[in-house]
Structure 1
């Protein structure tokens, strides 16, 4: 108990120290006020973090930078530009786009319409809000010095905002947006609003930039007309790109198709061309400056990069060269002078402390009168065959368990019809094999082994139904309103069913014969134990989330590193999480059972457990990106978004494996660990992605 309390104290200190220091760097050593704000628009409510340098305000107006995240993310993902530009004296509005983070689209929309809402208007509405504030600098004609920038879908939103603002300014007489730069976004989605030529015309005399990573998973590729036959043979977008050498990139830079290539990180003087609306010229051509930056980065790397942040600093210093006020004494700090990564480092320290708190809190809760019923009597270890053949079979099973989540990853995440058909056929064959083995065992009067085979056959049949009726399992609708959470939940349930088939077959074929009993797996069907475990897990998760909310209120930061974040949430996220809990519970119950059956009281058992959860996925990621950087074409070029989702999923599954083992050792059963992982990681996942609350 003394060790438990010591670990808890260390964890709490890590949370407090990490959050305090993270908050210091977030506010540039308290030289910037960071405040969460919300404002109403004609389309809903937008939430943002307002970075206000000391001295800025109505008496010292400043240029404003509106920066936003990409699909699935939130305003905190814009820490780097927000910190760096605010410490240079700019006012920064770090925005949650509609239906992301704490922002909400007001009107109801149908399934399939979700991509026609959030990104189109978010930056325009935020820029219009910023232009109306008394702290925003304007020129003598009333044009606002406001910049728009965003990553990925936020980049599309920024391009659309520039276009719509120009069109509106023709009637209004003033511009609300002075400049803009997209990060990880070309015209792919924005072309739904206007053509590339129309965008360039609308940019007019503005300074506009694009950051186009060479290894961006989605965008900046050549058009089909530009591709060689070899390039056309590649199906997918996770490949090497050079946007400045494409026809689209050269058009943006105003150099024309005849130029063999254009230079990146160089400002080009560009004639916008006439702005045409409904066949009529509504504004003459103007001369602006355009630039493309092409870092050797992937899509999610952009918003966690000193290079990209330096590009943004350089861009803004050029774009706002005539708008810097005398009070902005740090405006000329070099682009290499950056501190944002210290904020991220201390956020990581707090994040580690957050996870480190959980097991000690569970341990202390187990001392409570009712909650101690979570602990059951000790059980025997699940036995492993000691013959050479039996040992080989065990390790083959472990290796298969490591690999199959990755082998079937793309099929399950995409619900690929061809792949699911193969899995359904395979499930049918395994069902038949289980039934045949069951008959043989019953004929030998080996009832326990026969029963295990029957159970394996039933689970195989469920798996077949899961694969055959995939479109009806966790479909996108008003209840399951998070598209990527649906994908992960389906992958998890499917992997869980496969693991359960392996468990039953391995038990029936070898372990039952070795004297292993069903209870040795830790699945004890005691009502009081299950109830106490449920309450203990819920209490532990509530406690650590209370710590998060307190830290957020006190220091203005949460727990995060790159794409993995434990963030505060509004009540609707909790309602949505309840819809997903049963599906993730299926996975974590089976996962906890499998990990402890195969790893408990084994040498390097924790390492084996972690490998069983993430080993195959880590190999997949290494091959996917290793091949992309080595040869310019990834392992599976069609897996753009799904691969990115693994960057947050993999650490969660690794930590879940440790919790599954550690908590099982304290309770001698699967319930508390299963409930704990379900509650914790469902909430983390649901609160950190796009949620289309008004869809359905």
Structure 2
């Protein structure tokens, strides 16, 4: 193995970001060591388990219990997305239980079971020796709010107040609310919430105070006044509305939304305090730095493995390009940016709704992503067929990078390089999880370890996504690779990242430009898929730069296709909800 100082330096920076960022995240999550964070298991009626983090402030004992808070995330999120709320609740003196909903994270499937996990989690918290059982609040974001309301309905004597963040009563089968149920209700509903039509049945997010559904819960026939307390806390009829100027997922990272949520619980429970400022953002900054370090680690890992004696056969000299930067190239580049976006909503909606949930296809949203990926493969193949008509070229042309050199040995070595790099990243995350109890994350995009069940699901979705990445490699490094991007790796990375991500950026600009101007998305029914598109914007640039680096390093498409298939399938499967009842 021959690694130069430059790559040693990159490894050092990557590890510094991973472990330095994770240490910062740990400091933020434990508020400087003042809060003990423990992993706990909540048993369900059918013998399954719900995974959770229990945040215990210093000084809390069985002899001196503290008020408790159950914090529940929304759909296709996990307990880590509740960190901003959980950390601030713990700073205010609460014992906080943040759970993975059923079918999410490390909780047993299927999703939506057991009242979205709310009732058994509240029962666990109320019976915990460190918690004042007569002094418990519930908080839930989005679908987590339905879990909180379900918990309140099933255990009416086990809670004192509820804070719904971007959520509502009486939605998707959750219990209906009125002016007395749930007890002491705080509603933090953002000014630009994408799900206004689903939650409170309002025409736009800003007109939510005029919603008849909200008014019925507040016991008024007039528009609800933001910041005004309706009813009385002492008799459990208090109602409060706050509308921070952010979006549905933005509530996780809004200091105003976090403050309003925590303040409502502090006001409605006893024995807590209202600390100065907020600290949760240090945890978020730390996990973001760790994520950056993890991505950076992949490059020297590929470099080192591809230079290792037995694996060197996977590499060859970078081939000459086929494409020229002419009018045809610009047409191809525009299609590369637009076709995936045109296919996005139809494929995602059809895949998540029409593809049956089975043991082979157990994740609804992943089904949509896979259908989208395969639709792209079909379109890429069709366009390549048109481009090659009469040209006499073949995909076996070495300039595409699909040649197999020594046959299966070359493909096997390429897979070994990719698996070694992704495996190294997985080991880094395993160490971070074991030492710091954090993951690699920025906002709602996270890289988590897989459970045994996730690994099984990973293997079922991997072939389809591998086919997509093979097609993508041919597109980026065949049809779009020019002399300029062959000679300059940075220019190639930037060009490919723009080609893959530009269309989704435009999509989000349009959707949110309309939302901010009118109070509703351009296509409101696509709210979930629009929010998922943020994760595409985070992931596709990584796909582009990793793919480009692998092609320039090995001269072939196989390593990049394998690496991205392994990485992206891992990220998707570990982050999506499991709907099949394994």
Q: Same fold (TM over 0.5)?
A: yes
What SS class does the counterpart of residue 295 from structure 2 fall into?
helix
What SS class does the counterpart of residue 490 from structure 1 fall into?
helix
Of 60-69 and 603-612, more deviation after overlay is shown by 603-612
Match of 1:448 in 2: none
Match of 1:357 in 2: 297
Question: Are positions 1:122 and 2:117 aligned together?
Answer: yes
**2: distance between equivalents of 1:654 and 1:690?**
24
Question: Are positions 1:131 and 2:126 aligned together?
Answer: yes
Whether the aligned pair in 2 keeps the contact of 1:599 and 1:609 (CA below 8 Å) is no
Identify if the C-alpha distance between structure 1 residues 193 and 27 changes in structure 2 by more than 3 Å, giving closer, same or farther: closer
Match of 2:88 in 1: 84
Match of 2:488 in 1: none
Once the 2 structures are TM-superposed, how far is the Cα of residue 72 of structure 1 from its aligned partner?
0.7
**1: distance between equivalents of 2:37 and 2:492?**
45
Question: Are positions 1:293 and 2:242 aligned together?
Answer: yes
Choose from 241, 264, 278 the match for 2:226. Answer: 264
User: Deviation digits for residues 594-624 of structure 1, max 9, x if unmatched?
Assistant: 1112135425322221122111111011000
Equivalent residue runs for 1:306-321 within 5 Å: 306-320=255-269
User: Deviation digits for residues 562-621 of structure 1, max 9, x if unmatched?
Assistant: 011011221110110000001100111111111112135425322221122111111011
**2: distance between equivalents of 1:500 and 1:270?**
65
**1: distance between equivalents of 2:475 and 2:62?**
62
Match of 1:616 in 2: 503
Match of 1:169 in 2: none
Identify if the C-alpha distance between structure 1 residues 533 and 547 changes in structure 2 by more than 3 Å, giving closer, same or farther: same
Of 290-299 and 22-31, more deviation after overlay is shown by 290-299
Whether the aligned pair in 2 keeps the contact of 1:599 and 1:608 (CA below 8 Å) is no
Question: Are positions 1:93 and 2:70 aligned together?
Answer: no
Whether the aligned pair in 1 keeps the contact of 2:149 and 2:174 (CA below 8 Å) is no
What SS class does the counterpart of residue 40 from structure 2 fall into?
strand
Identify if the C-alpha distance between structure 1 residues 633 and 87 changes in structure 2 by more than 3 Å, giving closer, same or farther: closer
Whether the aligned pair in 2 keeps the contact of 1:221 and 1:246 (CA below 8 Å) is no
Choose from 236, 244, 258 the match for 2:209. Answer: 244
Choose from 643, 650, 661 the match for 2:537. Answer: 650
Question: Are positions 1:73 and 2:77 aligned together?
Answer: yes
Match of 1:372 in 2: 312
**2: distance between equivalents of 1:494 and 1:596?**
20
Which protein is bigger by CA-based radius of gyration?
A: 1
Q: So what's the TM-score if we normalise by structure 2?
A: 0.93
Equivalent residue runs for 1:629-648 within 5 Å: 629-648=516-535
What SS class does the counterpart of residue 539 from structure 2 fall into?
helix
Identify if the C-alpha distance between structure 1 residues 619 and 296 changes in structure 2 by more than 3 Å, giving closer, same or farther: same
Match of 1:675 in 2: 562
Identify if the C-alpha distance between structure 1 residues 65 and 591 changes in structure 2 by more than 3 Å, giving closer, same or farther: same
Choose from 498, 521, 536 the match for 2:400. Answer: 521
Match of 1:538 in 2: 419
Question: Are positions 1:392 and 2:327 aligned together?
Answer: yes
**1: distance between equivalents of 2:575 and 2:174?**
28
**Structure 2 unmatched ranges of 5 or more:** 486-490
Identify if the C-alpha distance between structure 1 residues 680 and 193 changes in structure 2 by more than 3 Å, giving closer, same or farther: closer
Question: Are positions 1:381 and 2:321 aligned together?
Answer: yes
Question: Are positions 1:4 and 2:13 aligned together?
Answer: no
**2: distance between equivalents of 1:240 and 1:63?**
33
Match of 1:690 in 2: 577
Whether the aligned pair in 2 keeps the contact of 1:69 and 1:153 (CA below 8 Å) is yes
**1: distance between equivalents of 2:198 and 2:396?**
57
Whether the aligned pair in 2 keeps the contact of 1:663 and 1:672 (CA below 8 Å) is yes
Once the 2 structures are TM-superposed, how far is the Cα of residue 534 of structure 1 from its aligned partner?
1.0
Q: CA RMSD in A?
A: 2.4
Question: Are positions 1:413 and 2:348 aligned together?
Answer: yes
Match of 2:461 in 1: 580
Match of 1:236 in 2: none
Identify if the C-alpha distance between structure 1 residues 356 and 674 changes in structure 2 by more than 3 Å, giving closer, same or farther: same
Identify if the C-alpha distance between structure 1 residues 121 and 654 changes in structure 2 by more than 3 Å, giving closer, same or farther: closer
Whether the aligned pair in 1 keeps the contact of 2:180 and 2:236 (CA below 8 Å) is no
Match of 1:343 in 2: 283
Identify if the C-alpha distance between structure 1 residues 569 and 296 changes in structure 2 by more than 3 Å, giving closer, same or farther: same
Identify if the C-alpha distance between structure 1 residues 265 and 692 changes in structure 2 by more than 3 Å, giving closer, same or farther: same
Question: Are positions 1:570 and 2:451 aligned together?
Answer: yes
**2: distance between equivalents of 1:6 and 1:251?**
62
Identify if the C-alpha distance between structure 1 residues 222 and 643 changes in structure 2 by more than 3 Å, giving closer, same or farther: closer
Match of 1:427 in 2: none
Whether the aligned pair in 2 keeps the contact of 1:39 and 1:46 (CA below 8 Å) is yes
Choose from 191, 205, 227 the match for 1:214. Answer: 191
Once the 2 structures are TM-superposed, how far is the Cα of residue 516 of structure 1 from its aligned partner?
10
Whether the aligned pair in 2 keeps the contact of 1:379 and 1:522 (CA below 8 Å) is yes
**Structure 1 unmatched ranges of 5 or more:** 139-143, 167-174, 232-238, 273-285, 386-390, 418-469
**1: distance between equivalents of 2:467 and 2:396?**
22
**1: distance between equivalents of 2:6 and 2:385?**
38
Match of 2:166 in 1: 184
Identify if the C-alpha distance between structure 1 residues 269 and 342 changes in structure 2 by more than 3 Å, giving closer, same or farther: same
**2: distance between equivalents of 1:216 and 1:631?**
12
Number of equivalenced pairs = 570
Whether the aligned pair in 2 keeps the contact of 1:383 and 1:511 (CA below 8 Å) is no
Match of 1:492 in 2: 373
Identify if the C-alpha distance between structure 1 residues 411 and 509 changes in structure 2 by more than 3 Å, giving closer, same or farther: farther
What SS class does the counterpart of residue 291 from structure 1 fall into?
strand
Once the 2 structures are TM-superposed, how far is the Cα of residue 478 of structure 1 from its aligned partner?
1.6
Once the 2 structures are TM-superposed, how far is the Cα of residue 5 of structure 1 from its aligned partner?
1.5
What SS class does the counterpart of residue 268 from structure 1 fall into?
coil
Of 630-639 and 341-350, more deviation after overlay is shown by 630-639
Choose from 63, 68, 71 the match for 1:64. Answer: 68
**1: distance between equivalents of 2:466 and 2:229?**
54
Of 376-385 and 570-579, more deviation after overlay is shown by 376-385
Of 621-630 and 502-511, more deviation after overlay is shown by 502-511
Question: Are positions 1:333 and 2:275 aligned together?
Answer: yes
Of 527-536 and 667-676, more deviation after overlay is shown by 527-536
Once the 2 structures are TM-superposed, how far is the Cα of residue 493 of structure 1 from its aligned partner?
1.3
Identify if the C-alpha distance between structure 1 residues 163 and 366 changes in structure 2 by more than 3 Å, giving closer, same or farther: same
